[in-house]
Amino acid sequence: MNYPPGIQLEMNFDGPKGNRFKEKLNNGVFQLIVEVAPPTASIPLVDAAARFKEIEYIVSAKQEIPAALVFLDKTSPPDNAADPVRFASELCQTDRDRHLLCVSGKNRTLSETEKMLGHAANEGFRNILAVSGGSVPEDTPKKARSRIYTESIHILQSIKEKFPDLLNAGCAVNPYCYIPETVFPQYAKLAKKISAGAAFAVTQYGWDMHKLQELTWSLNEREVTIPLIARLQLLTPDKAEEICADKVPGVRISPDLEVMLRREMTHSLAQFEAAQWRRLQIHAAGARFLGYSGIQISGAERPEQVNILLNRIAEALKEFTSFEEWIAAYNDYYARLDMAPYPYRFYKFKNLLTSASFPEQLEFNPAEMTELSKTEKFKFNLSQYLLGKAHQIQAAEKRLTKKILVSCRSCQECRLPLTGFVCPENCPKGFANGPCGSTKVDGRCEMSNDECIFSKQIRIAAHTGDYATLEETFIPPVAERK
């Protein structure tokens, strides 16, 4: 997204002094956040905003449950939507500190992202959800390499450095991972994002409440407290079909849940919708009992849907008065079906969902990762020996060795010793600080059949015992990718 030259010079950062979204998060007020996807860029903003006015009014006027909007950032292909800052400014003439703006690093350099953040701050927005951006459907790894993906960690660092008192930054996390090779890198990346300045986190959407609690316990285990928001999806038959066909990156369901959804799809539309409202109610109430500070709802796009949504969620929050009552209803609703996508079913902790609170004695499940093969060990040992100082010398030095050992792609800043000697340029998005949320359930990259580089890194860390480098080292962006 190109901003007019000189926009930074025009910034005056006038705007609301407070931040009501942040205050609610920090004061434990449970919020309902409705996703708004800006329309395509070709539609005049005034017309587009007029269409969403009613939703904005419903969300702002509702008293039973505090509600807000989150403006998604889909300016890149295939959506090519309007700039969320401009769209949100057109739609929300006041109260901008109540809402959340998504800022994605996809197809934007870090400096373009910073201009967008400046624009948001200047317009009076105060809450930013920093994301790296999902892949473009049908992209091959080669095509993806030609795109820019600014990592969310770098966006968070920029916010902390350049807008410390103005912008409240949050990040995304995908807790719906089911093998140790994907679970641990997600949590390690979340820890890094929090150190980089994320003050709250929003999950990917999913239905496995054990995983929502695994996330809270993982933070408790590290003695980290930030507000968490559980993202939930209001399903339509088309969306349910897409999910059952495994076409939504980063969204995983179990065979049992697939059977349930497919059965619901055979019902009348009215019955299907009734089942979805009930599902949302149960998950929303559960999220609150598990300590979440709110829910972010995807898929409620029409004013009448948003109205029903707010009423149903408010009802659900009143309906269940204790965790015990809620867990009985949850188990009853799902008839104890298995939520893990068999054969992948790793949960970090034992006794999840046996109580709402963090246990005094945390019990872990064994984390069995695929060990390094003999060849992998050999290459790692040799890389360590030959390239142990590769980040301290010119990147062009030892190029041939790097090509042979780690499929080096000739970038300008070698980071190998910081990444377990797995070249970050082999990630199609060029991520160096941790995985995206779309790694396949078995640990393969969302865009290829190769193992996600972060699954490999964590197996190497398990071999060396050095998890700290992966979790604590911030790896700066490279100037140019190859």
251 near ligand SF4 (CB under 6 A) = no
Q: Least distance in Å: CB of 186 to ligand SF4?
A: 10
* Helix intervals (H) in 320-412: 323-334, 374-387, 399-406
Q: Give the side-chain half-sphere CA count within 13 A for 220.
A: 17
Region from 73-81, 292-300, 375-383, 436-444 binding ligand SF4, contact rule CB under 6 A: 436-444
454 near ligand SF4 (CB under 6 A) = yes
Which of 452, 458, 460, 462 touches ligand SF4 by CB under 6 A?
Answer: 452
Region from 62-70, 105-113, 369-377, 452-460 binding ligand SF4, contact rule CB under 6 A: 452-460
* Residue number with CB closer to ligand SF4 (38 or 430): 430
Cα–Cα–Cα angle for 183, 459, 434, nearest 5°? 55
* Residue number with CB closer to ligand SF4 (117 or 445): 445
438 near ligand SF4 (CB under 6 A) = yes
Closest of 346, 371, 321 to residue 218, by C-alpha? 346
Q: Least distance in Å: CB of 381 to ligand SF4?
A: 23
458 near ligand SF4 (CB under 6 A) = no
**Distance between start and end Cα atoms, the chain:** 22
Q: Least distance in Å: CB of 100 to ligand SF4?
A: 24
**Residue 433 near residue 192 (C-beta atoms within 8 A):** yes
**Residue 443 near residue 182 (C-beta atoms within 8 A):** yes
Region from 226-234, 381-389, 390-398, 434-442 binding ligand SF4, contact rule CB under 6 A: 434-442
Both tokens of 334, joined, read 């799902």
Which of 24, 288, 429, 481 touches ligand SF4 by CB under 6 A?
Answer: 429
Backbone angles phi, psi at 196, to 5 degrees: -80, -10
443 near ligand SF4 (CB under 6 A) = no
436 near ligand SF4 (CB under 6 A) = yes
Distance from C-alpha of 475 to C-alpha of 423, rounded to nearest angstrom: 12
Question: In terms of DSSP bridges, do strands 127-131 and 200-203 run parallel, antiparallel, or are they unpaired?
Answer: unpaired
Closest of 450, 427, 473, 471 to residue 147, by C-alpha? 427
Q: Which of residues 389-428 bind ligand SF4 (CB under 6 A)?
A: 427-428
477 near ligand SF4 (CB under 6 A) = no
Q: Least distance in Å: CB of 429 to ligand SF4?
A: 4
Name residue, tokens 């902390």. Answer: 160
151 near ligand SF4 (CB under 6 A) = no
β-bridge mates for residue 168, sequence order: 127
Distance from C-alpha of 251 to C-alpha of 341, rounded to nearest angstrom: 11
Number of residues that bind ligand SF4 (CB under 6 A): 14
197 near ligand SF4 (CB under 6 A) = no
E-strand ranges in 132-266 read 168-173, 200-203, 228-233
Region from 37-45, 299-307, 351-359, 431-439 binding ligand SF4, contact rule CB under 6 A: 431-439
**Residue 217 near residue 210 (C-beta atoms within 8 A):** no
Q: Least distance in Å: CB of 445 to ligand SF4?
A: 3
β-bridge mates for residue 228, sequence order: 201
Q: Least distance in Å: CB of 239 to ligand SF4?
A: 22
177 near ligand SF4 (CB under 6 A) = no
Look at residue 280 and give its three-state secondary structure: helix
Region from 232-240, 280-288, 369-377, 441-449 binding ligand SF4, contact rule CB under 6 A: 441-449
Chain residues binding ligand SF4 by CB under 6 A are 427-429, 431, 435-436, 438-439, 445-447, 452-454
